[in-house]
Amino acid sequence: MPLIEPNRSPLLLETQIQSNTTHPPYWLQVALDVPLEGVFDYRSDVPVMRGLRVIVPFGRRQLIGVVVACPDQPSLPPESIKPIERVLDDLPPLTPAWLDMAKFASDYYQRPLGEVMLPVMPARLRSVAAYTRAQSGDGPVAKQLAKQLAQLAKINKKTTVDAKHDIAPEQRTEDNRKNHLTAFQLIQSTKPILQLNTAQQAAVDTLTATDDYQTCLLFGVTGSGKTEVYLAAAAKVLESGRRVLFLVPEINLTPQFAASLQARLAPYVKPDQIALMHSGLTDTQRQASWVRAAMGDAHIVLGTRMAIFAPLSNLGLIVVDEEHDPSYKQQEGLRYSARDLAVWRGRQDQATVVLGSATPSLESWAQTQRGFYKRLDLPERAHQTLMPNIRLIDTRRADLKQGLTPQVIDAMTQTLEQKQQVLVFLNRRGYAPVLHCPSCGWLSQCKNCSVFAVLHRDQPYKMRLHCHHCGQQTQVPKACPECGDQDLQAMGRGTQRLEEHLTEIFPQARLARIDADSTRTKGSAQALFEQVHAGLVDILVGTQMVSKGHDFARLGLVVVLNPDSMLFSQDFRAPERLFAQLMQVAGRAGRHQGQGQVLVQTGYPEQPVYRALCQHDYPGFAQSTLEERRTAQLPPYVYQALLTAQARELNTAIDFLQHGRDVAQAWLDTQPAPEHITLFDPVPLRVTRVAQVCRAQLLVESPSRAALHQLLRAWLPALGTRHAKGQLRWQLEVDPLEI
Ligand SMILES: [Zn+2]
Ligand SMILES: [Zn+2]
């Protein structure tokens, strides 16, 4: 492919002004998505601006990379440096602020720069094949862009609540029942709150008091109207001409939020100035959102964790809703925390960052105590309803019927008689967690993993075994593979079996189940939630999918089944997570009328986490838990990094980690005054084998973040490539959430 001719693109002209060198060749450093440290030298006959994408030869391939520097001199002998093949000027260059954020993420999470920058872009902007296709198919880039924008307008039209009619156009054409649902939904999403209460107003005042950087923790009990605060603050920021970035934890929440944003912020932002970014979008949609953000056409970007990398300029406000939610942490590739990057980005862009939660992460809570974040409290529910009444039901001496205590069955009966809805929360999908043989004790172990395959029932008489770790599905054996006994039994209870039992106990009730299985097809989750909102469901059975954000107006009773398994996890964060989850699911009850009831069935009612839950006492829970963490020297009082190795044989992984530990120790021994760093012994993961691969980990920690990062910088290059020798792979996670 020939070099691009010096063309008349305004972008390239601008670069000529900025370049230090006046004569070709121009030296470029390019970040590429390859698992190698550092950036790569190329040369160009035209000056290229930092932040532009280029096509370069790499080995026998062509790759798209990002120009991160234009040095006067190359770092390699000039004759060994290859020329770039093409400058892509279909987008404005990534801004210096964006490049700085990527550099920070690269340094902090110990990942090569190119592996940070490129994977966060939509696939079509980083694939040579896609670029070439677009070129040959549709002519000039400008045309292509125009087409994208036209497509985008269509998408927006489709997903936009029409401000004039207050009803989404696509939904208007549906049948009567659907219309009814839509109208109901809109009551939910566009209901104006005429006046903020005192606490809400105070929070908005603080959030909008400065044009400079600040991070605020909005601590509001469930139903306290945090969203109203976000919207009022966003309105003010938009009015001043700055942009807003909204992060939500779940894809399912974005339609709800988008509708609210469009309806409530209508005076400040046009529907096509709101861009969505989440993994539920098609490539075309994601690309369109990215383009609009980069072009400055998007005034609000709303999305899940990936949206933290939106190429927005002139940011005034970053909202991280439900900031404690683990989904803000990416669990593969670049293992970043979108919440933590939001705080960094806010400081960089001199924006206000607001982290909202009813159960903040202990990390954020500790930051308010240290004075780094401002704490804003919303202590009351916005609709002046009472906090739900939470009671523990001791299962130890109870006479259980299909896993339900008589108290729970009575309370459900009463609630249904009052024409209110019941939510039964069981965080375990499938029919039963394991199949077993009572004669010989055989259990349905997955062949590939060190876990049990879960029994699933898809249709009334059709069962299968499904491993939730490797995904393998097998038929249920007709007889025990060990002893031949034909009387195999399901042990325990998942949501499918619970649904079956509830149908037996409450034959008149209309049931719906919301979990990963019942919502597999696109749009099905939305449809199920609409049924619940429309009052077409009496009993809703659900996993954690139902606990987040959804506002059920007719919900009178929440029943929580079997939460104890999380209590005895080896992970020190388990009680924190359990508290947050139960508080959230309990908060679904009685948000609009009366006092909601919550019943928690447990075999351990004396546990402190349950006591705090009954008293709605997050600050007390946080205080005692932080005290324990301080005593035990756990985060947020120490900083951690986790090295994980995977191999066919467990010993290979352990040996690699042991070698890594020795290397780190040797480096520490060379330090004149080593700060305190603890290197733990390599251990297998709790679920050691997944898909025939064994996993082990090595934890490193230090009370000094700087010391930990100094070690990581010296250490990782000595470990070799991440796909080293044969089958071994390793990766490093900074600030791991699960250990
Ligand atoms: Zn058997
Ligand atoms: Zn498996």
pLDDT in tens, 224-260: 899 999 999 999 999 999 999 999 998 777 777 888 8
Is residue 237 domain-shared with residue 306, that is, in the same domain?
Answer: yes
Residue 721, in any domain of the structure: yes
* pLDDT attached to residue 13: 38
* pLDDT attached to residue 349: 95
> Confidence band (pLDDT; 50, 70, 90) for 137?
low
**How far, in Å, from the CA of 145 to the mean position of ligand 2?**
44
DSSP SS3 for 84: coil
Ligand with smallest separation from the Cα of 692: 2
* pLDDT attached to residue 150: 56
Q: Say what percent of the chain tops pLDDT 90.
A: 70
Q: CA 588 to CA 573: how far, in whole Å?
A: 23
**How far, in Å, from the CA of 490 to the mean position of ligand 1?**
13
**How far, in Å, from the CA of 436 to the mean position of ligand 1?**
8
**Which of 117, 139, 161 is the C-terminal boundary of a domain?**
139
**How far, in Å, from the CA of 348 to the mean position of ligand 2?**
44
**How far, in Å, from the CA of 692 to the mean position of ligand 2?**
8
Count H helices and E strands in the chain, helices first.
22, 28
Q: At residue 422, does pLDDT exceed 70?
A: yes
Ligand with smallest separation from the Cα of 436: 1
Predicted confidence (pLDDT) per residue in 702-720, tens digit: 999 999 999 999 998 888 7
**How far, in Å, from the CA of 465 to the mean position of ligand 2?**
10
**How far, in Å, from the CA of 457 to the mean position of ligand 1?**
22
Is residue 180 domain-shared with residue 226, that is, in the same domain?
Answer: yes
The mean pLDDT of the chain is 87
Is residue 207 domain-shared with residue 178, that is, in the same domain?
Answer: yes
**How far, in Å, from the CA of 475 to the mean position of ligand 2?**
14
* pLDDT attached to residue 190: 46
Closest CA to 544 of 576, 502, 516: 516
**How far, in Å, from the CA of 610 to the mean position of ligand 1?**
39
Is residue 718 domain-shared with residue 660, that is, in the same domain?
Answer: yes
For β-strands 693-702 and 678-679, DSSP reports them as antiparallel
Ligand with smallest separation from the Cα of 454: 2
- Residues by chain with Cβ below 5 Å of ion ligand 2: 446, 448-449, 467, 469-470
* pLDDT attached to residue 163: 33
If one compares 585 and 165, the residue with the highest pLDDT of the two is: 585
Domain tally, the chain:
4
Is residue 39 domain-shared with residue 156, that is, in the same domain?
Answer: no
How distant is the alpha carbon of residue 496 from its chain centre? 26
CA gyration radius for the chain? 28
Please say whether the beta carbons of 382 and 225 come within 8 A: yes
**Which of 109, 139, 169 is the C-terminal boundary of a domain?**
139
* pLDDT attached to residue 643: 96
For residues 526-535, give the mean pLDDT. Answer: 89
* pLDDT attached to residue 147: 58
Q: At residue 55, does pLDDT exceed 90?
A: yes
> Confidence band (pLDDT; 50, 70, 90) for 336?
very high
**How far, in Å, from the CA of 462 to the mean position of ligand 1?**
21
For β-strands 639-647 and 454-459, DSSP reports them as unpaired
Q: At residue 547, does pLDDT exceed 90?
A: no
Residue 2, in any domain of the structure: no
* pLDDT attached to residue 392: 96
Six-digit token pair at 528?
């199920």
Ligand with smallest separation from the Cα of 435: 1
Other beta carbons within 10 angstroms of residue 662's beta carbon come to: 11
* pLDDT attached to residue 170: 35
> Confidence band (pLDDT; 50, 70, 90) for 214?
very high
Residue 356, in any domain of the structure: yes
Is residue 191 domain-shared with residue 227, that is, in the same domain?
Answer: yes
* pLDDT attached to residue 194: 53
Q: At residue 213, does pLDDT exceed 80?
A: yes
Q: What is the CATH number of the domain that holds 658?
A: 3.30.70.600
Q: At residue 313, does pLDDT exceed 60?
A: yes
Please say whether the beta carbons of 571 and 687 come within 8 A: no
Exposure pattern of 330-363 as b/e (b: 16+ CB <10 Å)? beeebbbbbbbbbbbbbebbebbbbbbbbbbbbb
Question: Structural domain of residue 591, as residue ranges?
Answer: 389-429+494-629
Rounded to 5 degrees, φ, ψ at 615 are: -90, 5
Predicted confidence (pLDDT) per residue in 652-705, tens digit: 999 999 999 999 999 999 988 767 899 999 999 989 999 999 999 999 999 999
Q: What is the CATH number of the domain that holds 555?
A: 3.40.50.300
**How far, in Å, from the CA of 451 to the mean position of ligand 2?**
7
Predicted confidence (pLDDT) per residue in 103-123, tens digit: 999 999 999 999 999 999 999
Of the listed ranges 178-187, 515-524, 669-678, the least confidently predicted one is: 178-187
* pLDDT attached to residue 416: 96
Is residue 83 domain-shared with residue 218, that is, in the same domain?
Answer: no
**How far, in Å, from the CA of 395 to the mean position of ligand 2?**
32
Residue 479, in any domain of the structure: no
Q: Say what percent of the chain tops pLDDT 70.
A: 88
Predicted confidence (pLDDT) per residue in 370-383, tens digit: 999 999 999 988 77
For residues 553-577, give the mean pLDDT. Answer: 90
Q: At residue 184, does pLDDT exceed 50?
A: no
**How far, in Å, from the CA of 58 to the mean position of ligand 2?**
37
> Confidence band (pLDDT; 50, 70, 90) for 205?
very high
If one compares 223 and 391, the residue with the highest pLDDT of the two is: 391
**How far, in Å, from the CA of 561 to the mean position of ligand 1?**
30
Q: At residue 642, does pLDDT exceed 70?
A: yes
Predicted confidence (pLDDT) per residue in 73-91, tens digit: 998 999 999 999 999 988 9
**How far, in Å, from the CA of 491 to the mean position of ligand 1?**
14
Closest CA to 203 of 219, 222, 223, 221: 219
> Confidence band (pLDDT; 50, 70, 90) for 721?
confident
Ligand with smallest separation from the Cα of 481: 1
Predicted confidence (pLDDT) per residue in 577-599, tens digit: 999 999 989 988 877 777 889 99
Six-digit token pair at 143?
């045309």
Predicted confidence (pLDDT) per residue in 10-29, tens digit: 344 344 444 555 678 999 99
Predicted confidence (pLDDT) per residue in 121-133, tens digit: 999 999 999 888 8
**How far, in Å, from the CA of 454 to the mean position of ligand 2?**
10
> Confidence band (pLDDT; 50, 70, 90) for 567?
confident
Is residue 212 domain-shared with residue 360, that is, in the same domain?
Answer: yes
Ligand with smallest separation from the Cα of 465: 2
Is residue 521 domain-shared with residue 653, that is, in the same domain?
Answer: no
**How far, in Å, from the CA of 466 to the mean position of ligand 1?**
20
If one compares 145 and 169, the residue with the highest pLDDT of the two is: 145
Q: At residue 479, does pLDDT exceed 70?
A: yes
**How far, in Å, from the CA of 722 to the mean position of ligand 1?**
43
Ligand with smallest separation from the Cα of 485: 1
**How far, in Å, from the CA of 474 to the mean position of ligand 2?**
11
Q: At residue 141, does pLDDT exceed 60?
A: no
* pLDDT attached to residue 258: 85
Ligand with smallest separation from the Cα of 486: 1
Residue 435, in any domain of the structure: no
Q: At residue 162, does pLDDT exceed 50?
A: no
**How far, in Å, from the CA of 79 to the mean position of ligand 1?**
72
Is residue 135 domain-shared with residue 147, that is, in the same domain?
Answer: no
Q: What is the secondary structure of 480-517 as a DSSP string?
A: -TTT--S--EEES--HHHHHHHHHHH-TTS-EEEESTT
* pLDDT attached to residue 552: 84
Is residue 620 domain-shared with residue 662, that is, in the same domain?
Answer: no
Torsion sign (Cα): 390, 395, 398, 401: positive
**How far, in Å, from the CA of 379 to the mean position of ligand 2?**
45
- Please enumerate in sequence order all residues whose Cβ is within 8 A of that of 514, keeping only pairs 6 or more positions apart, or say none: 525, 528, 529, 532, 540, 541, 542, 543, 545, 546
> Confidence band (pLDDT; 50, 70, 90) for 149?
low
Residue 453, in any domain of the structure: no
**How far, in Å, from the CA of 227 to the mean position of ligand 2?**
40
**Which of 378, 413, 438 is the C-terminal boundary of a domain?**
378
Q: What is the CATH number of the domain that holds 30?
A: 3.40.1440.60
Q: At residue 191, does pLDDT exceed 80?
A: no
For residues 521-530, give the mean pLDDT. Answer: 86
**How far, in Å, from the CA of 413 to the mean position of ligand 2?**
40
Q: At residue 161, does pLDDT exceed 80?
A: no
Rounded to 5 degrees, φ, ψ at 601 are: -85, 120
> Confidence band (pLDDT; 50, 70, 90) for 387?
confident
* pLDDT attached to residue 193: 45
Write the DSSP symbol of residue 728.
Answer: -
Exposure pattern of 166-203 as b/e (b: 16+ CB <10 Å)? bbbeebeeeeeebeebbeebbebbbeeeeebbebbeeb
Six-digit token pair at 310?
């939106």
**How far, in Å, from the CA of 699 to the mean position of ligand 2?**
25
For residues 294-306, give the mean pLDDT. Answer: 96
For residues 271-277, give the mean pLDDT. Answer: 94
> Confidence band (pLDDT; 50, 70, 90) for 155?
very low
Is residue 168 domain-shared with residue 33, that is, in the same domain?
Answer: no
Cis amide linkage into residue 25, ω under 30° from 0: yes
**How far, in Å, from the CA of 149 to the mean position of ligand 1?**
62
